[in-house]
Amino acid sequence: MQEFSQLGRTPVLGFGRSYVCFHHAIRMLFNSPEFAFVFFPAVYLLFRFLARFKRTWMVNSLLVGASLAFYAYWMPSALILLLGSILFNYFCGLRILAATQAGNSARGWVALGVIGDLALLSVFKYAGFFAQSVNDVFGLGIPVPHIFLPIGISFFTFTQIAFLVDAAAGKVKNCHFLEYLLFVTYFPHLIAGPILHHGEMMPQFATPETYRVRGEVIAAGAALVAMGLLKKVVLSDGIQPYAALLFDHEYAAPNAIVSWMGAIAYSLQLYFDFSGYSDMAVGISLLFGVRLPFNFNSPYKSVNIVEFWRRWHISLSSFLRDYLYIALGGNRRGKARRYFNLVLTMVLGGLWHGAAWTFVVWGALHGAYLMVNHAWKAAKDGVLKPLAPLFATRGYAVLAWLVTMAAVIVAWVFFRATSVEIALGIVRGMAGANGLGSLADYGRCDYLQACVDAPAVGGLRQIGITLLLGFIAVALPNSITISKYVSERFAGVRDAMSWRAAALVGASVPICVFAVLLTSARGVSEFIYFNF
């Protein structure tokens, strides 16, 4: 995926991406040698030592210090901003708790906190986008600010907004600063999620039992880290050149085969990249005894868009549902208002990913998909109810899956393309406007408009690899299933160093070392969602 940090690129007709400035510090990725061989082993050894004392404040202090060091290693200049955001929200949270416990209204403090969070996000993430859009629409010359984008700002902002809203709703009884600080900064999730919920996390940080790591937890954590690394380094990075052929080298007039296969390749690249990161985040956290929520549940098995959003980026879709869609009225004010709320929620969800019209279109498409999904469900339950036996057949399920995946893949084109114009050109190719083409066209350098840097990959081999990764995403067990299986197999193993736990850890470590060394040899590639 092209870096958002490329300054000086002018959006086409106001529909391109608004570029913001990323601070180019040395980055400690989960798949980097710095993290795997230095940072994590040092922190984990200290953790195991302090956990023996069964004092949560000692372990929490270590994890806070490690998390702040992890963030500062990425972006030292943004650490002050992160801490300022935490102090501001914690203060608002205390005032909200005091008001609710006294039986007074806390709306003013909630409004102050949420507006402050959104203002911070708007300045650092959207100021340049809005200025450029106004210039394009009205032909003005407003200076476009190039403001550095703090890493993880979208994630820690949403995490804290949810806390403030729930505090006002009486769902937060108390809030100790050290636990709140760890809740926001906890390094496995800080950079790219999942978006955490205080109700799931803060009780864990307050319980000494959390840090008494057991055999099944060690085993599941090690397996998830190894699986996540393989997803990222082997599968996602492996198929990335195939997607780049379509999106980065920009076919002059891509035919249907080239357009569909390139779009499918990106859909798989994004899934294995983001789910790989999420697996590693959950696995690393499990090694400390802390359970993070899973963010993916085989989304490409979905047979409708509603199901897709129950399986894809689960923490974000849950946040959008609970704190935006329901707050707007949900489905309580009639069908028209329900559809409006769906589209608005998804458009804002698109903007959450980035300041660009491509993300707006992506969100609007998913809003439209959800409208169609709900309308179709109403029709099946109403006028089409006599056809219920047909809807229960395997053939209908396959057709529903194909339609759902086609819709998702078309939307991913806008998510990935650097401008709406380029995305529309690819979609026209997918519709056959430039001919069907042949399988051999997929990856042929002479078919490209600009092929100087095109990797040496070729048609049929690419087709086979793309289809293989599609089979893995759709047919094989996912991380939730595998971790559940491992936990059940190791249930009752109280000793973290039992032979069974040690055997699985021993099998996982070489896989992790291999993946990290392979990454180091290629050059460490960032996770796509680090840009959001």
User: What is the identity of the amino acid at 379?
Assistant: A
Find, among 431, 422, 414, 277, the residue nearest to 346 by Cα. 414
In the 3-class helix/strand/coil scheme, how is 409-437 assigned residue by residue?
A: HHHHHHHHCCEHHHHHHHHHHHCCCCCCC
Exposure string for 140-178, b = 16+ CB within 10 A, e = fewer: eeeebeeebbbbbbbbbbbbbbbbbbbbbeeebeebeee
CA distances from 453 to 249, 258, 450 (A): 8, 18, 8
Residue-wise DSSP of 485-524? HHHHHTTT---TT-HHHHHHHHHHHHHHHHHHHHHHHH-P
For the CA atoms of 227, 229, 234, 240, the dihedral, rounded to the nearest 10 degrees, stands at 120
Q: How many CB atoms lie within 10 A of CB 452?
A: 7
- E-strand spans in 426-475? none
Token code pair at residue 29:
């990725």
Q: Exactly one of 189, 198, 353, 366 is catalytic; which is it?
A: 353
Helix (H, G, I), strand (E, B) or coil at 116: helix
Q: Which long-range contacts (CB under 8 A, 24 or more apart) does 165-169 make?
A: 165/110, 165/114, 165/323, 166/198, 166/199, 167/93, 167/96, 167/97, 167/100, 167/106, 167/110, 168/96, 168/100, 168/106, 168/107, 168/109, 168/110
Tokens of 456: 């040496």
The secondary structure element, H or E, covering residue 320 is helix 314-320
Q: How far apart are the first and last CA of the chain?
A: 12
Distance between CA atoms of residues 21 and 356, nearest Å: 14
Q: Which of 153, 211, 182, 19 is nearest to 90 (CA)?
A: 182
Nearest to 251 by CA among 432, 433, 450: 450
Is there a contact between 504 and 219 (Cβ–Cβ < 8 Å)? Answer: yes
Closest CA to 318 of 424, 132, 194, 433: 194
What is the amino acid identity at position 223?
A
Cβ burial 374-398 (10 Å sphere, 16+ → b, else e):
beeeeeeeeeeeeeeeeeeeeeeee
Based on the residue annotation, tell me whether 353 is a catalytic residue of this protein. yes
Residue 207 CB neighbour total at 10 angstroms: 12
* Three-state DSSP class for residue 148: strand
Amino acid at 28: M
Under 8 Å between Cβ of 1 and 531: yes
- Which residues are catalytically annotated? 353
